[in-house]
Amino acid sequence: MLQAFRDYIKSAGLFNTTDRILLAVSGGVDSVVMVRLFKDAGLNFAIAHVNFGLRNKESDGDEAFVKTLGDQANVPVFIRHFDTKQYAASQKVSIQMAARDLRYAWFEEILTEHNYNYVATAHHLDDQAETFFINVLRGTGISGMHGILPRQGKIIRPLMFTTREKIMSFANVNKLKWREDRSNKSRKYLRNKLRLDVLSELYKINPLFSHKLNESIMHLRDVEAIYNNHIAGVTADLVQQKPEGVLISIDWIYEYEPHDTYLFELLKPFDFSYPVVKEIVRSLDTFSGKVFYSPTHRLLRDRENFIIQPLSDISAGAFPEETFEVQRIESHIEFPVCLCMHETDNISELPMGKATIACLDADKLQFPLKLRKWEKGDWFIPLGLKGKKKLSDFFINQKLSLADKEKTWLLLSGNDIVWVIGKRIDNRFRITPQTKNAYVVSCIDESGETETASCGCSLLFG
């Protein structure tokens, strides 16, 4: 067992023999055997134990046992108490997830403060089999079938060469003592039910079941590496980072079959679930305008692209019900859009025809002017036309994306739209030969310049 342990550490490249390793020890047989192997191999290690306070006196007994174990091994022991139930309630997560989050965050603290290189957990091949079937039962992609990795960042699993049976045999031969967690025999947990009712039957069919499954998992990891390399290339071709968000070309998606799988991989960094991705794919054959959500992002199905934006950015820049006043004497405002205003009677030198500058007949305006987001049913008379046009139709003609529409602000006189900011003024407020006083409003970009090729402020939010 000791030689197999040493060979595995070397072959898997888990760590160097000079590294300082923090062992996560519960007091169960797996972690006790791990401590003994590290001790017999002459490695530099310490012990970390978490008392989650979930089993009252039993939890305290585990803590006392681990302290004694550390004393016998003559290594440092770190102990931490957590109110796991309170944390789970406050974070709205399960007890199991709360315990995992708490202990790994604490392990990271110890690594940093005490200069340890890695955290070692006592997972073994039977744990890997259980995890594999849990993922299969819950539904998973290829990443859920690669099993428990021997090393993930600072987490290492030095017992992933052996089985629970061999660990028990080693413990009994060496007359080791350990703590039994009664919850390990409860079938209310899926992992226990798999271990007690399913995997035990598979071992009857093939005593080498866990080793054979491990061989298959190793092949799956190689396939996953090839798959991920391909997806990385597709991502580089299809995904673009733009000011309005992350864009994925819809036309390009048509070129890749199966659509669901490719799009799921492209959207994985944005937390979109597979059922939602299937709905997004169905929208490929519909009109633009549909919106889809993940816990962290929103996807807009536009004409040419899927536009993905963080929900935090959307909420931070949204003023759906707000109206802001613009006084006649104001020369500069920065919120909610950046505008510069002035009056002049020098009509002949006005910069006419620029989308970023509105030249208006001051005597036709009703002050204070108002700034607000566009709303359904809004209409105006675009410069150069005589009839009304719905703003929604104007946006279609301008080929604005949904993201651009959401960032569009209006300047109003009374209830009349004077300027679709950065796009077009209303024909009723244009400069004419009869105009005596002009009111000029300019977009300002981030550098303070007013002359830009498009809307200079990009409809900036303050």
> What tens-digit pLDDT sequence spans the chain (462 residues)?
999 999 999 999 999 999 999 999 999 999 999 999 999 999 999 999 999 888 888 889 999 999 999 999 999 999 999 998 898 888 888 888 899 999 999 999 999 999 999 999 999 999 999 999 988 888 777 888 888 999 999 999 999 999 999 999 999 999 999 998 877 777 877 888 998 899 999 999 999 999 999 999 999 999 999 999 999 999 998 898 887 789 998 888 888 889 889 999 999 999 888 888 888 888 887 766 778 888 888 888 887 888 898 887 765 444 445 678 887 776 677 666 778 888 888 887 788 778 889 999 999 999 989 988 888 889 999 998 889 999 989 988 888 877 677 778 899 999 999 999 989 999 999 999 999 999 999 887 544 444 433 333 333 222
Phi, psi of 376 (to 5 degrees): -60, 135
Phi, psi of 206 (to 5 degrees): -145, 110
The CATH code of the domain at 2-205 is 3.40.50.620
Q: If you average pLDDT over every residue of the chain, what do you get?
A: 87
> For the purposes of burial, counting CB atoms within 10 Å of the CB of 181, is it exposed (0-12), middle (13-18) or buried (19 or more)?
middle
Residue 108: both structure tokens together = 């990271």
At the top level of CATH, which class does the domain 323-443 belong to?
Answer: alpha beta
Residue 106: both structure tokens together = 């604490």
Q: Are 170 and 1 in contact (CB under 8 A)?
A: yes
Residues of the chain with CATH 3.40.50.620: 2-205
Query: Residue 47 is inside which H or E element, if any?
Result: strand 44-51
Per-residue buried b or exposed e for 255-283, using 16+ beta carbons within 10 Å of the residue's own CB? eeeebebbbbbbbbebebeeebbeebbeb
Residue 448: predicted pLDDT: 43
Residues of the chain with CATH 3.50.40.10: 323-443
The Cα–Cα gap between 416 and 410 comes to 10
Q: Which of 103, 122, 24, 109 is nearest to 70 (CA)?
A: 24
Residue 390: predicted pLDDT: 93
